[in-house]
Amino acid sequence: MSRTVSGADAVRRGRPGYDRRGLLDAAVAVFNESGYDGTSVAALATRLGLSKAALYHHFASKEEILETALAEALDGLEGVLTGSDAQTGSQTQIAGDRLAEVLQGAVGVLVAHLPAVTLLLRVRGNSEVERRALERRRAFDHAVTAIVRDAQLDGAVRADVDASVATRLLFGMVNSLVEWYRPGGAEGAEAVARDVLTVALDGLRTR
């Protein structure tokens, strides 16, 4: 005796039955693996086992998928700055402590949104969506540079390194996590964040 398949069953049993979140995650994985520019809508649909119509049911274009993923990464990073302001007040918080909070928060965002941040770090400004994302990323870098400069003025960090160079070096360390960090490894996000802070702000020398 045949059984009528409900809509919920069809989603569970379908191939692959993506919802919007699942499709976004799968598409970002393909972009990171094959490159955004090198992945056509047809190739993306084929890799995900979807028709183009099924893909367009959730996103109007490949560019919308990219924009959504980049916004996820950038919203998280910008939230680190605004969250630090809201927590203690940017005018009263010691600059060195705020710098440590921002670095720790940035590591947390990277770990929580690893594929999206990886994609962000690989964009080159080849489209309007990418150029807007790069503008937001530069604004974030400038804000962190201002915090580094304040920390130098407070004597919390050494002042013989240019603040913008120090920011690039600090986030070079943070961003390198996309190349080697794997969720579920020996160290969790909090431990990795502590390690980054120790090396970045205290150094490896024992004396």
Domain containing residue 187: CATH number: 1.10.357.10
Inside any domain, residue 2: no
At 206, list the tokens. 């024992």
Q: Quick one: 124 and 191 in the same domain?
A: yes
For residue 72, what are the CA distances in angstroms to 7, 76, 110, 113, 118?
A: 30, 6, 11, 8, 11
Which of 32, 60, 88 represents a domain boundary (last residue)?
A: 60
Q: How many separate domains does the chain show?
A: 2
Neighbours of 86 (CB within 10 A): 10
Upstream peptide bond of 115 is cis (omega within 30 degrees of 0):
no
Give me the helix-helix angle, 62-88 and 20-34, nearest 10°. Answer: 100
CB burial readout 112-141, b (16+ within 10 A) else e: ebbbbbbbbbebeeebebbeebbebbeebe
Range of the domain at 55: 15-60
Inside any domain, residue 7: no
In the prediction, which pLDDT does 2 show?
A: 41
In the prediction, which pLDDT does 1 show?
A: 43
Among candidates 51, 72, 65, which has minimal Cα distance to 20? Answer: 65
What ranges make up the beta strands (E) of 51-131? none
What is the DSSP-derived secondary structure letter of residue 4?
P
pLDDT in tens, 185-196: 788 888 999 999
Inside any domain, residue 27: yes
pTM: 0.85
Q: Quick one: 139 and 95 in the same domain?
A: yes
pLDDT tens track, the chain, 207 positions = 444 434 444 333 334 578 999 999 999 999 999 999 999 999 999 999 999 999 999 999 999 999 999 999 999 999 999 976 545 544 446 999 999 999 999 999 999 999 999 999 999 999 999 999 999 999 999 999 999 999 999 999 999 999 999 999 999 999 999 999 988 878 888 899 999 999 988 886 765
Counting DSSP H helices and E strands in the chain, the numbers are: 11, 0
Q: Are 116 and 28 in contact (CB under 8 A)?
A: yes
